[in-house]
Amino acid sequence: MSRVLVTGGAGFIGSHLCDALLARGNSVTALDDLSTGALANLESARTAANFNFLHGDVRAHIAGEFELVFHLACPASPAFYRRDPVRTLDVSVNGTLAVLELARSCGARVVLASTSEVYGDPAVHPQRESYFGNVNTQGPRACYDEGKRAAETLAADYRRAHGVDARIARIFNTYGPRMALGDGRVVSNFVVAALRGEPLKLIGGGAHSRSFCYVSDMVEGLLALAAYTGPDAGPPFNLGMPQEVTIRELAQRVLKLADSRSPLEVEPAEPGEPARRCPDITRARKLLGFDPRMTLDEGLQLMITDIRARAGSG
Amino acid sequence: MSRVLVTGGAGFIGSHLCDALLARGNSVTALDDLSTGALANLESARTAANFNFLHGDVRAHIAGEFELVFHLACPASPAFYRRDPVRTLDVSVNGTLAVLELARSCGARVVLASTSEVYGDPAVHPQRESYFGNVNTQGPRACYDEGKRAAETLAADYRRAHGVDARIARIFNTYGPRMALGDGRVVSNFVVAALRGEPLKLIGGGAHSRSFCYVSDMVEGLLALAAYTGPDAGPPFNLGMPQEVTIRELAQRVLKLADSRSPLEVEPAEPGEPARRCPDITRARKLLGFDPRMTLDEGLQLMITDIRARAGSG
């Protein structure tokens, strides 16, 4: 049994991670300022005796003795991170600084949640970890992209300069139950609209593609990264589903699975929206045994059930 | 007469900027923690009645009423910024946050000193401002590169979200009197070695190229950027000398001008060292009238004279 801290533990991925860590018999502390997370996500975790919730800002000095820290605290969807771009970058950099200082003081291993956004609008497909990315420092998404790039750099420097065992997960699009409704992410947007009979908006026509990983597969990947004891743990690991689907195709699948007659509506493209994004997960597959299995249809069905229950629709 | 704050005012470029601002009749406050700058650089500035020196950390809350802030405070040479990479990134991000907050509260215009390092090891030559760069977040130079990229993002977001008139200068290699000796930069290294009769080290063989701008030309560029009243002031401006010279060629010129018999010595390449770097200054030329004039031979001669005087050599 390990003492584990999950920053952003009340968020979408963070809360699933808490559940999985508790199921494996760990003692889990979740830290969250609830700015984008929700206590409802921790409903089941909070019934566990070895679970502890801290309401606070990850940038403040965090005390405690942990063997492992999953650092997920940061606004992570465009709708949230654009609301206050300065705060987003500030939280990403200074939250990571605080977590790495904690790890330095207590000897914890750290798994930093980075993002496929560090690749920006990639010129190379699929993206390997060795690709340095294509991010516009002046763009509307840069607060998140550059904030996470700087966080990755801090992890590398704490590793080199201070011997902190920091590992980096570049998380690609993930979906599943507990995604915040109205957070502007395409899967939850589509499911909510389909269940309400409202139009599914194809921004930029829906020809751009993404790859969607179900949250339980993502959690397995994060746990495998934390448990990894082999060589070469320092450089980043892509975690995600390597199957590309266009946004239009996604919309059509959601309509079919939800048995919805919502129309598709084309909207103008947003500036800085990457045209394609798909992980090359060779490294995670080889070193961590990462093997995402949930099919898109199965995952969407689970998500539709979850949103039906939460939204009281359909 | 304007009230001007120069952060990093005791540094190489910062001190020349203070002198130029004083010569133009401004009231100048220089802020520096003297971690890489030196009071000796301000010897002439400190004789001026309208000059004020503040010894302090740019990340601390800065108070005051200024019309203009030049934000240059950050370790800027590899030898300095690698000494404490975490602090380098911290100072770049949190120093810029502090300066932009100051500007927001007092309405000052800000000129942020960014760097050609935001282009990393560029795959495009020469570099235009529209090129998004090629930076390895895990590399030994990333603390500086990613720190400055994040600082540029903060400037863009303060501009958009808070109406701060922030401008960005991407400063390419600059040289001239007052460069810190032993700061690991190639021009000062070469001049010092040539004057001492020690070997000039060609790291990686000296085939990689740089473009060197004399400091008075750089100061003119920064002043022009601050004074600019036309449209499109927000996106970054490259400032530098668009003439490329290989490091071997630079070494040979230094030897000739210093009348030195120092040998050239080939050393192994350093990881992450960019192969070429040369600014496309079309934008600064057109909008700011930026026109660097000092030839490399003239500039090197002035620098040799300066280092002779400081080092007591030759």
User: Which pLDDT band, with edges at 50, 70 and 90, does B311 fall under?
Assistant: confident
Which of B81, B144, B158, B175 is labelled catalytic?
B144
pLDDT at A313: 44
Q: Tell which residue, A178, A169, A173, has the closest CA to residue A290.
A: A169
Lookup: tokens for B278: 């040369």
Verify whether the Cβ–Cβ distance A86 to B149 is below 8 Å: no
Which of A81, A119, A131, A144 is labelled catalytic?
A144
pLDDT at A222: 98
pLDDT at B262: 97
Q: Does the pLDDT at position A81 exceed 90? A: no
pLDDT average, residue stretch B237-259: 97
Give the residue ranges of DSSP H helices in chain B: 12-23, 78-81, 85-106, 142-162, 186-196, 215-227, 247-257, 282-288, 296-311
* A122 touching chain B per CB within 8 A: no
Task: Please provide the average confidence, as pLDDT, over all residues in chain A.
Answer: 95
Lookup: tokens for A101: 């200082």
- A269-297 as b/e: b if 16+ CB within 10 A: eeebebebbbbbbebbbebbebebebebe
* A217 touching chain B per CB within 8 A: no
pLDDT at B57: 97
Cα gap B110→B98, rounded to integer Å: 12
pLDDT average, residue stretch A301-313: 86
Verify whether the Cβ–Cβ distance A153 to B138 is below 8 Å: yes
Write phi, then psi, for B212 (nearest 5 degrees): -115, 125
Is residue A289 classed as helix, strand or coil in its secondary structure?
coil
Lookup: tokens for B312: 């007591």
Q: Determine the residue type at A69.
A: V
Q: Does the pLDDT at position A314 exceed 50? A: no
Identify the architecture of domain A178-210+243-276+294-311 in CATH: Alpha-Beta Complex (3.90)
The answer to whether residue A144 is catalytic is yes
pLDDT tens figures, A160-187: 999 999 999 999 999 999 998 878 889 9
Strand partners, B115: B171
pLDDT average, residue stretch A102-107: 97
Verify whether the Cβ–Cβ distance A85 to B160 is below 8 Å: yes
pLDDT at A312: 66
pLDDT average, residue stretch B274-303: 96
- Which ipTM did the prediction report? 0.94
User: Which pLDDT band, with edges at 50, 70 and 90, does B314 fall under?
Assistant: very low
pTM summary value: 0.96
Q: Determine the residue type at A123.
A: A
Q: Tell me the C-alpha to C-alpha distance, in Å, between residue B148 and each of A12, A141, B226.
A: 31, 17, 19
Count Cα atoms within 13 angstroms, Cβ side, for A78: 15
User: Which pLDDT band, with edges at 50, 70 and 90, does B78 fall under?
Assistant: confident
With respect to CATH, is domain B3-175+213-239 assigned 3.40.50.720?
Answer: yes
pLDDT tens figures, A220-260: 999 999 999 999 999 999 999 999 999 999 999 999 999 99
Q: Which of the residues A97, A153, A164 would you substitute to probe the B interface, choosing the one with the greatest number of B C-beta atoms within 10 Å?
A: A153
pLDDT at B312: 66
Q: In chain A, where are the structural domains located?
A: 3-174+213-239, 178-210+243-276+294-311
pLDDT tens figures, B139-187: 999 999 999 999 999 999 999 999 999 999 999 999 999 998 878 889 9
Identify the architecture of domain A3-174+213-239 in CATH: 3-Layer(aba) Sandwich (3.40)
Lowest mean pLDDT among A31-40, A287-296, B191-200, B273-282: B273-282
pLDDT average, residue stretch A154-162: 97
pLDDT at B212: 96
User: Which pLDDT band, with edges at 50, 70 and 90, does B61 fall under?
Assistant: confident
Verify whether the Cβ–Cβ distance B150 to A118 is below 8 Å: no
Q: Does the pLDDT at position B271 exceed 80? A: no
| Closest Cα in chain B to A133 | B134
pLDDT average, residue stretch A193-208: 94
Lowest mean pLDDT among A22-36, A176-190, B109-123: A176-190
Other CB atoms within 10 A of residue A158 CB: 24
pLDDT at B313: 44
With respect to CATH, is domain B186-210+243-277+294-311 assigned 3.40.50.300?
Answer: no
pLDDT average, residue stretch A286-303: 97
